[in-house]
A and B are shown apart, each in its own frame.
Chain A
Amino acid sequence: MDITVNGRVRQVEDAIADSPLLWVLRDELGLVGTKFGCGVGTCGACTIHVDGKAVRSCQTTPEDIVGHEVTTIEGLADTTPDAGLHPVQQAWVEHSVPQCGYCQAGQIMSAAALLAENPAPSDSDINRDMSGNLCRCGTYARIRSAIKQAARNTPPSTNQDAS
């Protein structure tokens, strides 16, 4: 079966078509940036994008994403036209968000999906969309600041609804 991950078509065995995509990404495709935290969709560490929307890869299977575009943290920077980091990754560095760093790939993927949909999120928008991404080190204040900075640094999307 063919799946598209970070712009590349990758083959996975039919036998694992219904396995958690998280483990397929990590163990079959070597994309270990997507993290295991709980396996039941309660921590957000395994967040990826499917067609730009934040999805928990532990709750997704290869057969779910056939014909869709998957982006992982390793491919996030390539989704922006500029070379270098995605504006969310850049803001994460500038605000020195990570402590242990384990949850941060998932945080960044959720934040990037939030900003793609809502370029100027309010505090309550951030709370709603980011509450499923747990951080035990307690970096939340910096996550909030970094999202707001990335929002300022992200050029408005050209195909944005004019209303």
Chain B
Amino acid sequence: MPNVLSRRTFLSRSGWTATGLTIAATVSGCSLVPALPSRNELTETDAFTWLQLKPDGRFLFCSPRQEIGQGISSTLKLVIARELGVELEQVEVIAPDTSLIAQAKSTVGSESIKDFLEPVTEISQIMSETLRARAAQQLGTTPVEVAFTGREFVSSNGSRLSLSELAAGTPILLDPSEAPTATKPLQPKPASHLPSSVPTARIADIVTGAPLFAGDIQLPGLAHGAFIRPPQLGATLSETSFDAIPQDQILARYFDGERAGLVAPTQTSLIEALDLVEASWTTAAAADQDAINTSLALVEPVGELEHIVFETSGRPNEQADIDLSISIPFAAHAAIEPRAAVARWNDKVDPTLEIWTGTQDAFYVRSHIAKHFGLSEKEVIVYSQRVGGGFGSRTLCSVELEAALLAKEARRPVKVQWSRPDEFQEGFHRPPSRHRIRASANEVGMLTDWSHGFKSGHVIFTSAAMPRWMQAVTSFASDPGTARGAHLPYAAHRAEISFSDVRMPVKTGPWRGLGAAPNNFSIETAIDQLASNKGLDPLIFRLANLPPEHKRLSACLEQVAKNADWQGRSTTQTSARGIACGIYKSVTYVAVIADVDIDQESGAFQVTRLTCAHDCGRVINPDQVRAQIEGNLIWGLGMVKSEELSVKQGRLSADYLGDYQIPTIADAPAISIELIEPENAAPVGAGEAAIVASGAAIANAVAAFTGQPITELPIRLL
């Protein structure tokens, strides 16, 4: 019996109602509110815009999720092909395009499978049922009498109707008011005609160098633009002159009192012209690393920090077995693709403004730019391009607005390609944090007291995302990004976890895993140290203190110990082992063992193997999940081994990748991963989980070797 998919049913099954940022509620209705990152909730009407049957008989999936290297495009394509009973090549996936789909929330937080698998499955099933019903009608029979071959519908009397004949020249989109409910259970459909794993979308184009990224966009009359950058953070432009540039070398100059930019015919002429701009700058108070360090110093008792993450009724004892102060620096995303965007204004045709960019949030870019130019959102289209590495960095609007400003001035399409120094100096970074952990265990190795206080720069309520007045408002709010991962997975008799956000003079924001990477690093460093202090094996100590509700984490620990043949820290004259684990966003469980070779004389160390057990529930596309875990393990390695930004002479300490060292192939260890899939466990995210354990496992190996816990990142042994 056909009936309308009820919104309530859809939402409750998809778990969408629990999302949304507090800030949106706090400040809604205020006309001064800037555009904010897209966190809106799904309605079934939105989902109906994602999938259509095209007149050529192929399916078009207008994805609400951006491809940033996590493999989501091909994974959702696999799901759709399974549900529709078609081949992969019959489904075309396009990146979020603001003109084609209803506003979708930003591609962040490892939520693509957790939150979108069900609606995508459901919409595919509804499409399947709808097409079958229509085909039956045209074939003069009933849906149950119609078989689908993957290309055509066949009635019991042998008459046939292909997908393109069914579409008959017009795309078939689902109408929420007419659609039947999905009748099948939301279980993976067995599909022997499809592979069990699919590689990232457009892999053939990647290996042959086809255009895929924003910087690859070519348009008639395209010019190249850039803004003049301040020599120091926070410096303001007082005067500027373009007089030294030969007139035929520039197409337009831009100056609005606060910023200056120019447009040139080619990228090379632009770079030459930029050198000739004369600008004078005023610096109020230069940012200073010592002042940042002072602002992060943990001088208050833990109980007096601003925000409480967790506390038991009994307070932890002040006298603790271990008392660690851990210092974690700024870190950069350092995606290999520097940001780029192309903007084109149209005089006589719609839309007024077109933007091509690689972003994690096309709708936020659209609303930010529309608001800036006083346009309606319909007048701006953002075409998402593949992102050359996101990791949280492409969640705001920056290069896109610059391209739009310069294109308007130049009256022609303009590409703005950020330089590597732009990425470091104009981008935003993982905030630094300081952690103090005091903990005790009793004589039988049970955790009794846990006190974790920390201070960190902002992650969500950051100066990179909001004007000064709003920063002031949000300074009183607890930043959920900073707090992520601060919960202790272990049971303690008395516990207290609290933190304060500190406003940084540097733009900060989400970096892979948000607060979870530094917070869990600190937790796992302290737990390991406490085990050492008690003379206990760190695996046994962890297992003994994990409560039953975290049995999936215990299972990861047991599995990784088995796979790596854990026999304790196994310290030799030249090597050691370390272990760590964690839970990401309460849903993904991970444990890692690191094997590390250490040269005592030089202080150099090499991670030789990372063994990982990972439970993100049911796995849809195993090889891409493994790829995400591999990336996370390497990020954890970089975080503890070499990555560090600081403020030096009023600037971020890095302009080029030589100044900020991300792991190279020579740093990369052998990796072995086991995916654990408990029965009936819902599929959840894998994009930011293993990072919470890999860095600590490596640091714990080094600590086993030196006998001292790692309390400052990156690790320096001499």
A103 contact set on B, CB distance < 8 A: 336, 388
Cross-chain contact B386 with A30 (CB below 8 angstroms) = no
Cross-chain contact B209 with A36 (CB below 8 angstroms) = no
CB distance from B630 to the nearest CB of A (A): 6
Using A96-B627, A134-B336, A140-B665 as known contacts, say yes or no to A33 and B267 having CB atoms under 8 A apart.
no
When the two chains form the complex, which single residue of B204, B420, B658, B662 contacts A136, counting CB atoms closer than 8 Å?
B662
Within 8 A of A (CB), among B622-652: 623-624, 627-628, 630-635
Cross-chain contact A36 with B338 (CB below 8 angstroms) = yes
Q: How far is the CA of A36 from the CA of B202 in the complex (A)?
A: 20
Give the residue name and chain of the B residue nearest to A135 (CB): B336
CB distance from A31 to the nearest CB of B (A): 7
CB distance from A139 to the nearest CB of B (A): 7
Is A85 on the interface with B (CB-CB < 8 A)?
yes
24 contacts between A and B (CB under 8 A): A16-B266, A27-B266, A35-B215, A37-B336, A38-B338, A38-B657, A39-B419, A40-B420, A72-B209, A74-B208, A89-B208, A96-B197, A99-B628, A100-B386, A100-B388, A101-B202, A101-B386, A105-B209, A126-B665, A138-B632, A139-B631, A140-B634, A140-B663, A144-B665
Q: How far is the CA of A98 from the CA of B627 in the complex (A)?
A: 9
Is B235 on the interface with A (CB-CB < 8 A)?
no
When the two chains form the complex, which single residue of B200, B628, B667 contacts A101, counting CB atoms closer than 8 Å?
B200
Cross-chain contact A42 with B658 (CB below 8 angstroms) = yes
B666 contact set on A, CB distance < 8 A: 127-128, 131
Q: Write the A64-94 contact mask toward B (1 if CB under 8 angstroms, else 0).
A: 0000000011101100000001000100110
Q: How far is the CA of A69 from the CA of B633 in the complex (A)?
A: 40
Is A57 on the interface with B (CB-CB < 8 A)?
no
Is A19 on the interface with B (CB-CB < 8 A)?
yes
Is B210 on the interface with A (CB-CB < 8 A)?
yes
B662 contact set on A, CB distance < 8 A: 134, 136
Interface centre among A39, A99, A102, A138, by most chain B C-beta atoms within 10 angstroms, is: A138
A85 contact set on B, CB distance < 8 A: 207-208
Using A42-B657, A93-B207, A101-B388 as known contacts, say yes or no to A136 and B334 having CB atoms under 8 A apart.
yes
Give the residue name and chain of the A residue nearest to B68 (CB): A100
B635 contact set on A, CB distance < 8 A: 138
Given contacts A36-B417, A89-B208, 17 further A-B contacts (CB under 8 A): A23-B266, A32-B215, A33-B208, A33-B210, A35-B336, A36-B215, A40-B420, A73-B209, A99-B627, A100-B337, A100-B388, A101-B206, A136-B389, A138-B633, A138-B635, A140-B668, A141-B668
Interface centre among B218, B333, B389, B633, by most chain A C-beta atoms within 10 angstroms, is: B389
Is A53 on the interface with B (CB-CB < 8 A)?
no
Q: How far is the CA of A85 from the CA of B656 in the complex (A)?
A: 33
Is B116 on the interface with A (CB-CB < 8 A)?
no
Cross-chain contact B668 with A100 (CB below 8 angstroms) = no
Total B residues in contact with A, Cβ cutoff 8 Å? 62
Binding site for B on A (CB under 8 A): 16, 19-20, 23-24, 26-28, 30-40, 42-43, 45, 72-74, 76-77, 85, 89, 92-93, 96, 98-105, 108, 126-128, 130-144
B336 contact set on A, CB distance < 8 A: 35, 37, 43, 45, 100, 102-103, 134-136
Using A32-B215, A141-B630 as known contacts, say yes or no to A98 and B420 having CB atoms under 8 A apart.
no
B338 contact set on A, CB distance < 8 A: 36-38
Cross-chain contact A92 with B207 (CB below 8 angstroms) = yes
Using A36-B215, A139-B627 as known contacts, say yes or no to A131 and B665 having CB atoms under 8 A apart.
yes
Cross-chain contact A27 with B206 (CB below 8 angstroms) = no
CB distance from A25 to the nearest CB of B (A): 10
Cross-chain contact B670 with A99 (CB below 8 angstroms) = no
Cross-chain contact B389 with A137 (CB below 8 angstroms) = yes
Cross-chain contact B420 with A102 (CB below 8 angstroms) = no
Q: How far is the CA of A108 from the CA of B203 in the complex (A)?
A: 13
Q: Write the B209-225 contact mask toward A (1 if CB under 8 angstroms, else 0).
A: 11111011010000010
When the two chains form the complex, which single residue of B203, B268, B630 contacts A98, counting CB atoms closer than 8 Å?
B203
Q: Write the B393-424 contact mask toward A (1 if CB under 8 angstroms, else 0).
A: 00000000000000000000000010110000
Give the residue name and chain of the A residue nearest to B209 (CB): A33
Cross-chain contact A30 with B218 (CB below 8 angstroms) = yes
Give the residue name and chain of the B residue nearest to A32 (CB): B216
Cross-chain contact A138 with B215 (CB below 8 angstroms) = no
Within 8 A of A (CB), among B594-648: 623-624, 627-628, 630-635
Cross-chain contact B631 with A98 (CB below 8 angstroms) = no
Q: How far is the CA of A34 from the CA of B390 in the complex (A)?
A: 20
Interface centre among B69, B203, B206, by most chain A C-beta atoms within 10 angstroms, is: B206
When the two chains form the complex, which single residue of B209, B210, B668 contacts A138, counting CB atoms closer than 8 Å?
B668
Interface centre among B204, B658, B663, B666, by most chain A C-beta atoms within 10 angstroms, is: B666
CB distance from A105 to the nearest CB of B (A): 5
Q: How far is the CA of A2 from the CA of B557 in the complex (A)?
A: 62
When the two chains form the complex, which single residue of B203, B420, B631 contacts A96, counting CB atoms closer than 8 Å?
B203
A131 contact set on B, CB distance < 8 A: 664-666
